[in-house]
Amino acid sequence: MLIKSIFGGKSEMTEAGSKKCPVVLMTRIRLARNLADVPFPGWAKEARRKEVLETCLPSVASLGQMKRGISAEIESLSDLERQILVERHLISRELSTHAEAAGVVISKDQSISVMINEEDHLRIQVIKSGYRFKSVWNAADAIDTALEEQLDFAFSQKIGYLTACPTNVGTGMRASTMMHLPALVISSQMEKVVRAVNQLGIAVRGLFGEGSDASGSIFQISNQTTLGESEEEIVKRLSSVLRTIIDQEMNAREKILEKDPNKLYDKIGRAYGILQNSHLLTSSECMNLASLVRFGVDLEMFPEKTRNIVDRMFIECQPGHVQYHAGDEIDSSARDAFRAQYMRKQFENVDRPIFQLHETSTEDDTPKQEPEQEAE
């Protein structure tokens, strides 16, 4: 029931990839909020947690933004359903495992999800594809303001929104982007970038897979501090760091193409060959192949429409999704076989890569500033 509606509709995550931002896959903002006068979920007794769920679930579900969305108690979901929500970034792993008296409300387009009784009573999250802090913040802010009409939040004039963990206190905001940085990874510069960015109070996290090598070259980059700056200042500081990372990635791409194009063509050509012909594919291998093909799309080696296939692969090659498509809970070797078959099908009609450089191929179309912001 739940799964059908998740797969039935168009999803912000998998449908909207754009040439405009070759590097930034998606933008996310999360706000942590708690009800005044109720202990935080980790400390509250079961009965209080239930009260919070019973208060918040209908409040959130009644918002205009959540019209025709999904509203569910986590305990009522199967393991597979929970896993799929985690893989789509709609709930956290923590919520999926600490399911007692926990809930989630997801908007119809899956761009908004509100978790109830995670580490805080409410975790409001907005995700959109591309580099769009302005519209993501506006959406999160609107949800928060609408909820404020119905709920009293724990708030201190001195230190802002009060959260279970002091690392979130103040704005309660974690802003992040998911970035595809294949050239920095290939040219072994990622460690240097991570170190530099960390010094600026920005956290970097490999997003998929177990080792950094298995990440599909995708990294989540977010603010570490939430108190002492306004939401706007936090986003501004984060954006300037992101801008630098985008520039570094673009420079690295240019260098690779200048110095050793054959090495790159070989990688991308092989990725295409494997996706069309393999019969066993682990999720981490699949991520890395998808990453190379996406790089190829940026270089106009594949038609632009291939980008959507690849962006879907990042989500759909994960174990929960594979099992959903297989129609059964299957073990990991059966998943590898099914995943390979699924990818062969996806890549059946993708044209061979064109191995020649385009004049504009390494040009970065990502706006220097978000156009949405400039319009203000």
Partner 1 sequence: MAKPLKCDVCSQPATVHLTQIINNQIHKIDLCENCAEQKGITDPSGYSLADLLVKPESESAPEVAALSCPECGCTQREFKKTGRLGCAKCYEVFSSVVSPALLNMHRGDSHRGKVPQRALERRTFIDRLGTLESGLQDAISSERYEDAARMRDEIIELKKAMEAAAAEA
Give least dist CB 141 to partner 1, A.
7
Among 17, 209, 319, 320, indicate the residue that binds partner 1 (CB under 8 A). 209
* SS3 labels along 197-222: HHHCCEEEEECCCCCHHHCCCEEEEE
Q: How far is CA 2 from the centre of its chain?
A: 20
Question: Given the complex with partner 1, which of 144 and 300 has the nearer CB atom?
Answer: 144
Residue 79 touching partner 1 (CB under 8 A):
no
Say how far apart CA 317 and CA 218 lie, in whole Å. Answer: 14
Residue 369 touching partner 1 (CB under 8 A):
no
Piece of 88-96, 297-305, 326-334, 336-344 that binds partner 1 (CB under 8 A): 88-96
Cα 320–322–325 angle (5° rounding)? 110
Residue 37 touching partner 1 (CB under 8 A):
yes
> Across-strand partners of 128?
27
Residue 100 touching partner 1 (CB under 8 A):
no
Among 19, 67, 100, 165, indicate the residue that binds partner 1 (CB under 8 A). 165
Residue 171 touching partner 1 (CB under 8 A):
yes
Residue of 253, 237, 256, 248 lying closest to 190 (CA atoms): 248
Residue 154 touching partner 1 (CB under 8 A):
yes
Residue 290 touching partner 1 (CB under 8 A):
no
Q: Which residues contact 287 (CB under 8 A, 6 or more apart)?
A: 208, 209, 214, 215, 216, 218, 313, 314, 317
Among 1, 20, 43, 67, indicate the residue that binds partner 1 (CB under 8 A). 43
Alpha helices in the chain (DSSP H): 2-8, 12-15, 46-61, 79-87, 93-97, 133-150, 182-186, 190-199, 231-259, 261-277, 283-298, 306-316, 319-326, 332-347, 371-374
Question: Given the complex with partner 1, which of 121 and 335 has the nearer CB atom?
Answer: 121
Give least dist CB 206 to partner 1, A.
4
Do 86 and 125 meet the contact criterion of CB atoms below 8 Å apart? no
Residue 360 touching partner 1 (CB under 8 A):
no
Residue 198 touching partner 1 (CB under 8 A):
yes
Task: Number of residues interacting with partner 1: please give it, by CB under 8 A.
Answer: 77
Give least dist CB 136 to partner 1, A.
13
Q: Taking phi first (over 0 means left), then psi (-120 to 50 degrees means alpha), and beta for anything else, what does residue 196 get?
A: alpha
Say how far apart CA 192 and CA 51 lie, in whole Å. Answer: 48
Question: Given the complex with partner 1, which of 154 and 340 has the nearer CB atom?
Answer: 154
178 three-class SS: strand
Say how far apart CA 133 and CA 99 lie, in whole Å. Answer: 30
Give least dist CB 199 to partner 1, A.
6
Give least dist CB 130 to partner 1, A.
18
Residue 152 touching partner 1 (CB under 8 A):
yes
Residue 7 touching partner 1 (CB under 8 A):
no
Give least dist CB 183 to partner 1, A.
12
Question: Given the complex with partner 1, which of 91 and 301 has the nearer CB atom?
Answer: 91
Among 185, 292, 309, 322, indicate the residue that binds partner 1 (CB under 8 A). 185
